[in-house]
Structure 1
């Protein structure tokens, strides 16, 4: 997914794994690539994922599915409850949902597919009509147990190629997940409803996660011209956001105050940076 380039906040960076001003940053730096990096082309992803280049999250009650059918690729067991509670936190982009024993996992399929994960559904023999329902809900493929293991692996490889093209920009901080492309905020898997101004504040912070955004920059984004009470109003919106997002608003862990520099969204990593499988 193409995203517009935004300049890095000057003098601010990541220090010791948390949001803090970077005292080593050079004032007036351009933030561009170093001389040694200029002219280098980014590495291109392989056209066909190798057997060990992606991992499939498998939701199944059948241990043989992973140990026998999928022995040639990397897999990781995933509990159905974990997948439906917070699908945006699934660590792998390809998910295999086994519905042979438990039929009609339609809600689970919808939630996983909505999180922009490549979902492959593995169903019982003779369930073509139900398979169409899963595809309508967003699954990228449906395969019955009549298929051979080699075909299932091939379908998962195809899903992995698809997953590499899916826009996936979830930023996670504790139990909070933010998607700027969807304008969506979740906490513990549930949608958090923000006012337009609250979202603008959060968007400004999440655009450069773990980098401080100054009070001046935030007020400039929110109000033009800036009212006399802009700084106070900003503090009010920060407090409201913390009440909606933090486990303990008095001890914030998501939106941090950086003394003398402003605020930052304390996301350890973007979900899009997880392994491409």
Structure 2
């Protein structure tokens, strides 16, 4: 029994949970000297950057389109269809994505074969996996995100549109000069929140779509923490990574909040 206790204590010392006060710094040194850390950091930032460029504008565009629909029953039907994916688990949606993009039975490759093109291995190719990741995220979350923008559009004074019509403004000019400025503060707040998540892609989305073939672009901080911290029991190492992630996220959100306020919009604080 005493030998087992001593062995457990030595294990805890090796893991860095007990010992000298410099153990924490050793974990950061180990983290920053690890090649895997820079790979998962790059993948996390790139996937979030692509999400910011392509997924962030998607609910704005959807809200602008829905706002122009005048038939209420048709508008509500479209809204419900767009909202449904948000409430479906990523495990289920991941299975659907794999089925749709299968090289042998997927509908997209069926269409490609029908026009004489070679099938694409979407989930095994690094480029196409990234594209699939971004657009599957849009599919799941863009519809639900339109709720906030539609609520902001509903608060815009309708007399502004009437005055613009009298001045001869068309739909595009009304959207550019009335609708978009009317939801600018909402866009600013959501942009701050989105930039604040630049260090966190999320776990379920990546885990549901990733596979060993594309691990060089699909391994992100959340999955790396799971594999190293939960599976390999390296608690101190992944705690150091989590602290680094939190500090960078704090710096990002404070920086973008100051930029937004400098542009004349209200920030988070």
TM-score tier, shorter chain, comes to under 0.3
Which structure features the higher share of strand residues? 1
| TM-score, length-scaled by structure 1 | 0.27
Considering Cα pairs closer than 8 Å and 6+ residues apart, tell me whether 1 or 2 has the greater RCO: 2
Computing the radius of gyration from Cα coordinates, the structure with the larger value is 2
